Amino acid sequence: MSALEVCDLTLSFGGISALSGVSIVAADGQITAVIGPNGAGKTSFFNVVSGFYRPTAGRVLLDGRDITALPPHRRPALGIARTFQNIALFHGMTVLDNIKLGAHTQLQTGLFGAGLFLGHARREEAELTRRIQSDVAGFLELDTHADKEVQDLPYGLQRRVELARALAARPKLLLLDEPVAGMNREEKQAMSRLILDIRRQWGTTILLIEHDMGMVMDLSDHVAVLNFGRCIATGTPDEMGRNQEVISAYLGEPGAPLAGQAA
Amino acid sequence: MSGLQVFLEYTLAGIATGGVYTLVGLGFVLVFKASGVFNFAMGDMMMAGAYTFYLCAVVFDLHWAVALLIAVVFSCALAWLIERTVLRRMMGQPVIAVVMATFGIGFVLRGIAAIAFGSEAYQLPALLPRAPFFIGDIMLPGKSVRGFVLTTGLCGAIILFLRYSRAGIALRATAADQITAYAMGINVRRVFALTWMAAAAIGTVAGVIAASVTSLTPDLGTIGLNVLGVVILGGLNSVGGVIVAGLFIGWLEAMTAAYLPGDIREITPYIAVLAMLMIRPYGLFGTRPVERI
């Protein structure tokens, strides 16, 4: 059973094609890594899945439902959440408010009703706050920082807040765009453990863009390799490690050892 | 009257005028925070609201509260229409293009008002009782004081709304990062519509207060230009800054009226703004964008 199925995706900007004929499947409850050199189209691929780019051709299916033309703000309600390559938190707001915004679409009351601060909206929000504090913030060890403003937190914690915000909606499909970029070894290990914990706890399907080959090898069940906008190989991490085309495209020199190699 | 008494009286009167500036300033800040657009039609939206109030209260002879309610609803609808027909089509265009469009909208509104009502000045019914207010020996004009109480209440409500309501938080999130807000499932377009409507509602109240203190003409909106100074002084994205700056400019105008000859009053706000821009280009409370390198 596949949670996300992307078929024959083509994305062009004017004459430049960012993706051509890409098909990637993310199996239910598995961790699928999308790797490839810089400019291979990984983030463009994510942007199509989260709806920021409308593909020129091809389809995006979530649980069998065609969501290709769905605008981005309608997708979280279907269970898609994402983090960004550059941390994209809402500055000037507290950690808790940032996380709560991730669950924005889970609430029943609309923006206008909430604006009037009706009793129902308030109860619903109190319930959400409680749930986030007990579930998500506790899980990611953010509870002691809940009332701090996000921009005052160190980098590693900001990444974790972003992850918490993505989790607040209890997504079925979680898109992580380079979750450990710029982290040191300990932070990377902590983040890897968190990603595994998330899957274990909620059975979330995870799609991961990562440059750290060691991490990709350790975490993922399935790997898709992009190069110049084409998907050149898919398979298990081991298969990818032996695939000559992948090795020459991604790592440059044939026969170089893969494990532990960082980008 | 003693010197101190004159000072206090003008101070309080000035702060009362400043309340209107603050309200209009909040209308500017709301729209700017959400969409990064400086809405030059704000003053004219305010004028449109005030004329609607006049129409309801004087021509149709309704109770002032009913008239105000109708005026607020009407200007919200107008703002929604403007957002829907003009601004939404311009999403993704350079900000300057959108700002020019707001200029155009302002001119159109002013033109419509001039055609419909002519250029003579109307007196609004005494929305607020005229009876003067006494604090000790200091006498204050009743309209200004009550107008000030009204604006204070409204400002407080807006702050609470932005800080604690979910719509307010969605608005702040949109202000902080539009793309990410979109990815969180916030309907950014609806947030824009909401801010325009909120700005129009606030502007209507401000317009009715301003027009009932002086009089109602199609040029009522030019008060928006004074407020431009206020908003720059306070910081374009700062609600707190605009409140402080609005009161300060009101006070400064009253002070120059009290102690300096005639027309200097007209330019003092701009001098204050100019001085401010040289010392703190982001305004009193505006935030300087910090880039991590």
Token digits of residue A149: 């403003």
Q: How far is CA B269 from CA A14, A192, B97, B273, B283, in A?
A: 49, 57, 28, 6, 14
The structural domains of chain B, with segments of one domain joined by +, span 3-222
For residue B21, give the H/E element and its range. Answer: helix B3-35
Angstroms from B56 CA to nearest CA on chain A? 26
**Does the pLDDT at position A214 exceed 50?**
yes
Interchain proximity A73–B186, CB inside 8 Å: yes
Cβ distance of B177 and A90 shorter than 8 Å: yes
- The mean of the pLDDT values for chain A is 83
Distance of alpha carbon B11 from alpha carbon B258, whole angstroms:
10
Q: Is residue A26 over pLDDT 60? A: yes
The ipTM, to two decimals, is 0.72
Q: What per-residue confidence (pLDDT) applies to A204?
A: 92
Please give the full DSSP string across A178-235, using - where no structure is assigned.
STTTT--HHHHHHHHHHHHHHHHHH--EEEEE---HHHHHHH-SEEEEEETTEEEEEE
Contact call for B180 and A88, based on CB within 8 A = yes
Beta bridge partners of residue A205, listed in sequence order: A173
DSSP string over B89-126: GGTTS-HHHHHHHHHHHHHHHHHHHHHHH-SSPBPPP-
The two tokens of residue A49 are: 């899945």
pLDDT at residue B70, as a whole number: 94
What letter would DSSP give residue A147?
T
Q: How far is CA B100 from CA A28, B37, B97, in A?
A: 50, 10, 5
Q: Which helix (H) or strand (E) holds A105?
A: none
Q: Which domains can be identified in chain A, with CATH numbers?
A: 2-251 (3.40.50.300)
Q: Indicate the pairing of strand A16-27 with strand A2-13.
A: antiparallel
Count Cβ atoms below 10 Å from residue A117 Cβ, excluding itself: 18
Q: What is the pLDDT of residue B183?
A: 84
Question: What is the reported pLDDT for B175?
Answer: 81
Q: Which residue of B has its CA nearest to A96?
A: B169
pLDDT for residue B112: 92
* Torsion angle of the four alpha carbons B140, B142, B145, B148, in this order, in degrees rounded to the nearest 10: -150
Q: Do A41 and A18 form a contact (C-beta atoms < 8 A)?
A: yes
In this structure, which amino acid lies at residue B114?
A
Rg, chain B, Cα only: 19
Quickly state the pLDDT bin for A262 (edges 50, 70, 90). Answer: very low
The beta-carbon neighbor of B165 closest among A76, A115, A169 is A115
Taking the alpha carbons at both ends of chain B, their separation in whole angstroms is 60
User: Mean per-residue pLDDT for A4-20?
Assistant: 88
Q: What is the pLDDT along chain B (293 residues), one digit of tens a residue?
A: 577 878 888 888 888 888 888 888 988 888 888 887 888 899 999 999 999 999 998 888 888 889 999 999 999 999 999 988 988 888 778 888 888 999 999 999 999 999 988 888 888 876 666 677 777 777 777 777 777 788 888 888 888 887 777 778 888 888 888 888 888 888 888 888 888 998 999 999 989 888 887 788 888 888 877 788 888 888 777 888 888 888 888 888 888 888 887 777 777 778 888 888 888 777 777 665 554 44
State the pLDDT at residue B75. Answer: 94
Q: Residues of B30-64 as b/e, b for ≥16 C-beta within 10 angstroms? A: bbbbbbebbbbbbbbbbbbbbbbbbbbbeeeebeb
Highest averaged pLDDT of the listed ranges A79-83, A134-138, A180-184, B234-238: A79-83
CB of B170 within 8 Å of any CB in chain A? yes
Distance CA B114, CA B95 (A): 29
| Residue A100 tokens, joined | 């709560």
Task: Average the pLDDT over A159-175 and give the result.
Answer: 89
Q: Which of A73, A98, A132 to mutate to test the interface with B (most CBs of B within 10 A)?
A: A73
Higher per-residue confidence, B278 vs A249:
B278
Query: Which residues neighbour B6 within 8 Å (Cβ) at sequence distance 6 or greater?
Result: B258
- A91: Cβ contacts below 8 Å, ≥ 6 apart: A149, A150, A151, B176, B177
E strands in chain A: 2-13, 16-27, 31-35, 57-62, 65-66, 80-82, 173-177, 205-209, 222-227, 230-235
Q: Is B260 within 8 Å of chain A by CB? A: no
Beta-carbon contacts of residue B80 (< 8 Å; ≥ 6 apart): B193, B196, B197
> What pLDDT, in 10s, does the model give residues A46-74?
999 998 889 999 999 999 889 998 988 88
Q: Do residue B170 and residue A165 have CB atoms under 8 angstroms apart?
A: no
Strand pairing of A173-177 and A205-209?
Answer: parallel
Radius of gyration of chain A (CA): 19
pLDDT on residue A145? 86
Per-residue confidence (pLDDT) for residue A157, from 0 to 100: 87
- Predicted local distance difference test score (pLDDT) of residue A91: 84
**Residues A37 and A249 sit within 8 Å (Cβ to Cβ):** yes
Per-residue pLDDT at B126:
65
Q: Tell me the sheet residues that pair with A32.
A: A207, A222
Say whether A90 and B173 touch across the interface (CB within 8 A). Answer: yes
Q: Are A4 and A31 in contact (CB under 8 A)?
A: no
Identify from B30, B80, B162, B166 which residue to disrupt to test chain A contact, counting A C-beta atoms within 10 A and taking the largest count.
B166
Q: Do B180 and A84 touch (CB under 8 A)?
A: yes
Separation of alpha carbons A167 and A169, rounded Å? 5
Taking contacts as CB-CB distances below 8 angstroms, the residues of chain A near B180 are 84, 88-90
Q: Which residues of B touch A73 (CB under 8 A)?
A: 182-188
Contact state of A90 with B176 under an 8 Å Cβ cutoff: yes
User: Is the minimum CB–CB distance between A120 and chain B shorter than 8 Å?
Assistant: no
Q: Give me the sheet containing A2-13, strands edge to edge.
A: A16-27, A2-13, A57-62, A65-66
Q: Are A22 and A8 in contact (CB under 8 A)?
A: yes
* A182-A187-A189-A195 Cα dihedral, nearest 10 degrees: -80
Report residue B84 as tokens. 């829907």
**What pLDDT is attached to residue B292?**
47
Which chain A positions have a beta carbon within 8 Å of B199's beta carbon? Answer: none
Which of B165, B191, B287 has the CB atom closest to A117's CB atom? B165
Pairing mode, strands A173-177 and A57-62: unpaired
| Å between A168 CA and nearest CA of chain B | 10
Q: Which residues contact B55 (CB under 8 A, 6 or more apart)?
A: none
